[in-house]
């Protein structure tokens, strides 16, 4: 049965997208968002000609859902694809930046891996299946060898999850990669078969999808969603308690949501409820109803990350900024995870004649670094940029954004949490969980899952995250 009123707890991109599709489907919806603006981690700052992304710097167009939404929201004109040069990415090895090869011939000429490391890849089609749940590191080392793990997957995982391949579960963190082995018996065979299937679903693999942002930054997207949803988005409203009734008296609604606004407590009744908050926030709200699940949610690790944006005159940097930027393998023992060459990706990120560099510090590799003072973080990044890119002198602009709990880690055993959430939704019809700890952390995953969540609540299709 189609719900008459759905309350969504959390107005990040997951909650906003769910609300968009519910409204499109004719449902009445209210988002309760704790902060004074919606968007969650998707937040852009503009200051004196500099444009700084506090959260995601861009998104990959992995799903047609983006374009469907941008057309309705009227933001197609603001949409910008990244400079084609952004396909060029670098990895640090022995203190030098090496281009990540994007074709077979570049791969064989690359000095990023040794000859035995490259030859090891030829064995991949002949490696058998695993008989237990593996970490990303175990899976990659078994199929592709240690060197590929150290100098391709380790830095990639740091770039996507700010995570550690020795802890992440391959099945939940990279489900499509994992499925290639299960379904096709190997990565090479699977890439061929998988491409055919994606074509049928009009989806694009992450390594082929185009990267995009907006002329005025990523926040254009949540801002446009908030305009479209109008009074349905209620900011400064922190949800403090949920009342969930299963098979109760007919006169009572299945859900009541208590929230505070300006120190005053209020209650909203609903016949649909979407939890679009981080796992630790959902745990507090669900504790009294499903304590075992709440404990599983609370156990999800969110490592801290600092994004340090530094602006320089172009002539202060010796490195040609001819790509996306670089990632750093743990083996290189540096104090940063990598740097995005922000001003080379999209126009308008730095004043004329200047460059903007976004460097990531911390993650599950070096979480303690994030608690350094702002001055020490800037000094640390300046020293690393000097050593790796030949950046000299004082920055013209600096901004530090610290995320104490940045990105959920889909560590070994995370699939048990996914199963428990499926069970929760089956037990309480009308209740849905849509957040980046389920079904993928990328903006494209959140958007795809937001649409699937709305369709499920509207009785149109299967669950999100499946
Ligand atoms: C530093 C960083 C860089 C990233 N870079 C990229 C990138 O380049 N590309 C990419 O695709 N992805 C990137 N990501 C990941 C992506 O941005 C996130 O996964 C996605 O934005 C999460 O959206 P969400 O709505 O699920 O959660 P959130 O954005 O966390 O939103 C949850 C919302 O719930 C609200 N909330 C919490 N508790 C309550 C409560 N009790 N009551 C009411 N509201 C509450 C919060 O205020 C918040 O607004 C990055 C993430 C981070 C942190």
Task: Check if 277 has its Cβ closer than 6 Å to any atom of ligand 1.
Answer: yes
Q: Which H or E element spans position 354?
A: strand 354-362
Which ranges of 110-219 would DSSP assign to H, the alpha helix? 115-121, 136-144, 146-148, 154-161, 170-173, 175-179, 187-201
CB count in 10 Å sphere of residue 259? 22
CA separation for the pair 285, 362 (Å, rounded): 29
Judge if the beta carbon of residue 163 lies within 6 A of ligand 1.
Answer: no
Atom of ligand 1 nearest to the CA of 13: 25
Phi first, then psi: give them for residue 431, nearest 5 degrees: -100, 130
Q: How far apart are CA 142 and CA 151, in angstroms?
A: 15
Q: Which of 40, 218, 257, 362 to mutate to test the pocket of ligand 1 (most atoms within 8 A of CB)?
A: 40
What is the predicted pLDDT for the residue at 113? 92
Residue by residue, DSSP assigns 233-297 as EE-S-EEEEEEE-SS--TTS-SEEEEEEETTEEEEEEESEEEE-S-HHHHHHHHTTT-HHHHHHH
Going by the DSSP 8-state scheme, the letter that residue 63 receives in this structure is: S
Q: What pTM does this model have?
A: 0.94
SS3 413: coil
Residue 282's pLDDT is 98
Q: Give, as one character, the DSSP assignment of residue 197.
A: H
Ligand 1 within 6 A of CB of 160 = no
Residue closest via CA to ligand 1's atom 30 equals 40
Residue-level pLDDT at 250: 67
pLDDT at residue 124, as a whole number: 87
Calpha distance 160→446 (Å, rounded): 14
Query: Is residue 335 a contact partner of residue 361, using CB atoms and an 8 Å limit?
Result: yes
- Output the CA torsion sign for 449, 69, 31, 273: negative
pLDDT (0 to 100) of residue 150: 95
SS3 at position 453: helix
Q: Are 136 and 165 in contact (CB under 8 A)?
A: yes
pLDDT for residue 463? 43
One pLDDT digit (tens) per residue for the chain, 466 residues: 677 899 999 999 999 999 999 999 999 999 999 999 999 999 999 999 999 999 999 999 999 999 999 999 999 999 999 999 888 999 999 999 999 998 888 888 899 999 999 999 888 888 888 888 999 999 999 999 999 999 999 999 999 999 999 999 999 999 988 988 888 888 877 777 766 666 666 666 667 799 999 999 999 999 999 999 999 999 999 999 999 987 655 678 899 999 999 999 999 999 999 999 999 999 999 999 999 999 999 999 999 999 999 999 999 999 999 999 999 999 999 999 999 999 999 999 999 999 999 999 999 999 999 999 999 999 999 999 999 999 999 999 999 999 999 999 999 999 999 999 999 999 999 999 999 999 999 999 999 999 999 999 998 644 444 4
Structure tokens belonging to residue 6: 């759905």
Beta-carbon contacts of 284 under 8 Å, excluding residues fewer than 6 positions away, are 294
**Which pLDDT score is estimated for 208?**
79
Rg of the chain (C-alpha set): 23
Give yes or no for residue 41 CB within 6 A of ligand 1: yes
* CATH for the 113-201 domain, from 1.10.3110.10, 1.10.1670.40, 3.30.70.1020, 1.10.10.10: 1.10.3110.10
Q: Whose CA is nearest to atom 17 of ligand 1?
A: 56
**Summary count for the chain: helices (H), strands (E):** 17, 20
The tokens of 460 are what? 């149109």
CA pair distance 285, 431, nearest whole angstrom: 13
Choose the residue to mutate in 56, 207, 261, 278 for probing ligand 1, maximizing ligand atoms within 8 Å of C-beta: 56
Residue 94 zone, left/alpha/beta (φ > 0; ψ -120 to 50; rest): left
224: CA distance to ligand 1 center in Å?
A: 17
Q: How far is the CA of 89 from the centre of ligand 1 (A)?
A: 25
- Size (the chain), residues: 466
Residues 292 and 268: beta-carbon distance below 8 Å: no
Distance 390 CA to ligand 1 centre (A): 33
Q: Strands across the sheet with 272-275, in order?
A: 233-234, 28-32, 5-9, 272-275, 431-433
Instruction: Output the pLDDT for position 199.
Output: 65
Report residue 241 CA to chain centroid gap: 27
**What per-residue confidence (pLDDT) applies to 324?**
96
**pLDDT attached to residue 460:** 60
d(CA 298, CA 284): 8
- CATH superfamily for 303-403 is Protoporphyrinogen oxidase, mitochondrial; domain 2 (3.90.660.20)
Cα(368)–Cα(363) distance, integer angstroms: 9
What's the distance, Cα to Cα, between the start and end of the chain in Å? 21
- The CATH class of 5-41+218-300+412-457 is alpha beta
Domain map (residue ranges) of the chain: 5-41+218-300+412-457, 113-201, 303-403
3-state SS, residue 415: helix
* CB of 13 shorter than 6 A to ligand 1: yes
Q: Which two tokens stand for residue 388?
A: 């790796």
| Alpha helices per DSSP H over 28-174 | 65-73, 104-109, 115-121, 136-144, 146-148, 154-161, 170-173
Name the DSSP letter for residue 83: P
């Amino acid at each position: 049965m189609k719900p008459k009123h759905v309350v969504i707890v959390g107005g990040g991109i997951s909650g906003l997208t769910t609300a968009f599709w519910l409204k499109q489907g004719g449902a009445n919806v209210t988002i309760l968002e704790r902060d004074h603006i919606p968007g969650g981690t998707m937040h852009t700052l503009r200051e004196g000609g500099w444009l700084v992304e506090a959260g995601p710097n861009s998104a990959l167009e992995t799903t047609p859902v983006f374009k469907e939404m941008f057309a309705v929201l009227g933001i197609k004109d603001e949409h910008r694809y990244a400079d084609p040069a952004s396909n060029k990415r670098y990895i640090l090895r022995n203190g030098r930046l090496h281009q990540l090869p994007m074709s077979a011939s570049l791969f064989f000429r690359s000095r990023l891996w040794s000859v035995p490391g490259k030859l090891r890849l030829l064995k991949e089609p002949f490696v058998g299946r695993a008989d237990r749940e593996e970490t990303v590191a175990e899976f990659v080392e078994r199929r592709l060898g240690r060197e590929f793990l150290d100098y391709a997957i380790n830095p990639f995982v740091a770039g996507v999850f700010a995570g550690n391949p020795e802890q992440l579960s391959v099945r939940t963190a990279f489900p499509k990669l994992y499925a290639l082995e299960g379904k096709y018996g190997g990565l090479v065979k699977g890439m061929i078969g998988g491409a055919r299937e994606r074509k049928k679903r009009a989806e694009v693999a992450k390594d082929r999808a185009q990267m995009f942002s907006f002329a005025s930054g990523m926040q254009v997207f949540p801002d446009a969603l908030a305009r479209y949803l109008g009074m349905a988005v209620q900011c400064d409203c922190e949800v403090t308690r949920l009342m969930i009734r299963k098979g109760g008296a007919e006169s009572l609604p299945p859900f009541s949501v208590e929230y505070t606004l300006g120190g005053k407590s209020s209650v909203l009744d609903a016949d649909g409820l979407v939890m679009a908050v981080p796992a630790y926030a959902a745990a507090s709200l669900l504790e009294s109803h499903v304590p075992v699940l709440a404990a599983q949610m609370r156990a999800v690790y969110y490592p801290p990350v600092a994004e340090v944006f530094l602006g320089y005159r172009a002539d202060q940097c010796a490195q040609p900024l001819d790509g996306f930027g670089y990632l750093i393998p743990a083996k290189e023992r540096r104090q940063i995870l990598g740097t995005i060459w922000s001003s080379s990706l999209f126009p308008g990120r730095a004043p004329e004649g200047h460059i903007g560099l976004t460097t990531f510090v911390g993650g599950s590799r070096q979480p303690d670094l994030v608690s350094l003072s702002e001055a020490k973080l800037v000094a640390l990044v300046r020293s690393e940029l000097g050593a790796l890119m030949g950046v000299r002198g004082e920055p013209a602009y600096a901004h530090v954004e610290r995320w104490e709990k940045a990105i959920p880690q889909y560590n070994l055993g995370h699939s048990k949490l996914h199963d428990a959430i499926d069970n929760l939704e089956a037990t309480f019809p009308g209740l849905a969980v849509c957040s980046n700890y389920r079904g993928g952390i990328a903006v494209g995953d959140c958007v795809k899952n937001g649409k699937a969540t709305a369709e499920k609540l509207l009785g149109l299709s299967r669950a999100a995250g499946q």
